[in-house]
């Protein structure tokens, strides 16, 4: 029987598999020779034992991984619980919650027949928290939550809650752009006639001057100013203008008066006298009216006459 003098460097134990039974957890290690050099691309057999409370206790579980090949750096990857168990071993019967457990690794060269004594024990290590996730499946402690289910149908809308208090008034916004000018509205009713203004002479007196109207006119030559403004008239007319002040705006037309009584009927006409009848053509020209005879009797314009 041939023993292997090889040093094994344990890297780590990783995630528990959540697949269907048998459950497994991962184990990685680098296989090295006596010179601490990795055994690269070599095929060997590996024995895995799990003991309770001490690595020297009798194993509660044992399995073999046959014909395992190292990679280019001497690393092997094992799924503990996925090897070939011994006839008296059951991975599911390990009481993870009642004891601490230790993992023991042995290696052997490939042979046609191999027994338990052919494996060289290369090391033991205590299992920490990772394998004990298997215990949570049967314990009273709840496990990790499952995946989120599909979203259910939306429920009916609830009643509207009471209105909350009114919030603070926000800051005043910026002034908007000026809009286009609107259409001109209809003309309003004329306002009432203002009071009669003061005459030029009264304004002159009110400014602190003293004197008669003649002195006011002679001193300011206002008569010429009045004429140059388009007015016409004598000095007396200008005096009257100064005393009266400028003419105010024309007031609104008053309501129509009531119709007067009908006059008495005149004497009945017995004839038409054309001797003094004249016609004015509207341009200051007057003509006498003559009676003419043809197919019928007509009125005709006669000679020019003085307008009455």
Q: For the domain that residue 97 is a member of, what is the CATH number?
A: 2.60.40
ω into 80 cis (within 30 of 0): no
What's the mean pLDDT in 144-156?
A: 79
Domain boundary among 104, 137, 170: 137
Q: Are residues 115 and 65 in the same domain?
A: yes
Are 105 and 51 in the same domain?
yes
For residue range 231-285, list pLDDT tens digits in order: 888 877 877 776 665 566 777 887 877 877 887 876 665 555 666 777 777 777 8
Quote the CA–CA distance of 162 and 183 in Å, as a whole number: 47
Same structural domain, 130 and 237: no
pLDDT, residue 16, reads 43
CA dist 242 and 246 (Å) reads 8
Sign for the pseudo-dihedral over CA of 229, 234, 239, 240: negative
Token pair of 163 as six digits: 């209105």
Number of domains composing the chain = 3
- 211: containing domain: 200-244
pLDDT at 293: 61
Handedness of CA 122, 126, 128, 132 (dihedral sign): positive
The answer as to whether 1 is a domain residue is no
Residue 227 pLDDT? 74
Tokens of 1: 């029987």
Q: Classify residue 257: in a domain, yes or no.
A: no
- In the sheet with 7-16, reading across from the earlier edge strand, the strands are 7-16, 25-32, 75-80
- Identify the three-state secondary structure at position 22: coil
Q: 137, 163, 188 — which closes off a domain? A: 137
Same domain, yes or no: 131 and 17: yes
| Bridge-based pairing state of the strands 25-32 and 7-16 | antiparallel
The pLDDT value given to residue 6: 43
For residue 253, being part of any structural domain is answered with no
In a domain, 92, yes or no: yes
What confidence score (pLDDT) does residue 135 get? 57
The tens digit of pLDDT for each residue in 152-194 reads 888 888 888 898 898 888 898 888 888 898 888 898 888 888 7
H-helix or E-strand spanning residue 121: strand 120-126
Q: Is 81 left (phi over 0), alpha (psi -120 to 50) or beta?
A: left
**pLDDT confidence bin for 49, thresholds 50/70/90:** very high
What's the rounded Cα separation, in Å, for the pair 150 and 169?
Answer: 44
Is residue 79 within 8 Å of 100, Cβ to Cβ? no
| Helix (H), strand (E) at residue 222 | helix 222-228
Please tell me the predicted confidence (pLDDT) of residue 78: 92
Tell me the three state secondary structure of residue 205.
helix
Instruction: For residue 187, tell me if it sits in a domain.
Output: no
Q: Which of 137, 156, 184 is the last residue of a domain?
A: 137
Q: Are residues 109 and 227 in the same domain?
A: no
Residues 41-49: what's their mean pLDDT? 92
C-alpha neighbours within 13 Å on the C-beta side of residue 114: 22
With a cut of 50, say whether residue 15 has pLDDT above it. no
In a domain, 190, yes or no: no
The C-alpha atoms of residue 299 and residue 293 are separated, in whole angstroms, by 9
DSSP secondary structure letter of residue 36: S
148 burial class (0-12, 13-18, 19+ CB within 10 angstroms)?
exposed
Written as six digits, the tokens of 46 are: 């590996």
One domain, residues 21 and 79: yes
Are 130 and 52 part of one and the same domain? yes
């Amino acid at each position: 029987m041939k023993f292997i003098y090889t040093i094994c460097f344990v890297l780590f134990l990783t995630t528990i598999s959540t697949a269907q039974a048998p459950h497994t957890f991962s184990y990685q290690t680098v296989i090295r020779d006596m010179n601490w050099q990795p055994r690269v691309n070599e095929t060997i057999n590996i024995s895995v034992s799990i003991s309770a409370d001490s690595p020297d206790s009798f194993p509660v579980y044992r399995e073999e991984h046959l014909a395992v090949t190292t990679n280019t750096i001497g690393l092997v990857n094992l799924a503990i619980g996925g090897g070939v168990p011994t006839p008296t071993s059951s991975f599911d019967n390990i009481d993870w919650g009642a004891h601490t457990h230790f993992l023991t690794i042995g290696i052997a060269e490939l042979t046609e027949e191999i027994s338990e004594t052919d494996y060289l024990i290369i090391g033991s290590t205590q299992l920490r928290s990772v394998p004990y996730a298997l215990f949570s499946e049967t314990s009273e402690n709840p496990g990790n939550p499952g995946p989120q289910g599909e979203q259910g149908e939306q429920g009916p809308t609830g009643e509207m809650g009471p209105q909350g208090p009114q919030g603070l008034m926000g800051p005043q916004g910026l002034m908007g752009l000026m809009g286009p000018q609107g259409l001109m509205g209809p003309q309003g009713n004329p306002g009432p006639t203002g009071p009669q203004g003061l005459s030029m002479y009264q304004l002159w007196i009110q400014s602190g001057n003293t004197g008669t109207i003649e002195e006011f006119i002679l001193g300011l030559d206002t008569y010429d100013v009045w004429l140059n403004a388009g007015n016409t008239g004598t000095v007396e007319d200008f005096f009257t203008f100064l005393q009266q002040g400028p003419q105010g705006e024309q007031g609104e037309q008053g309501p129509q008066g009531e119709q007067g009584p009908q006059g008495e009927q005149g004497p009945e006409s017995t004839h038409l006298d054309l001797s003094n009848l004249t016609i004015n053509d509207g341009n200051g020209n007057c003509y006498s009216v003559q009676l003419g005879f043809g197919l019928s009797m007509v009125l005709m314009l006669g000679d020019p006459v003085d307008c009455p």
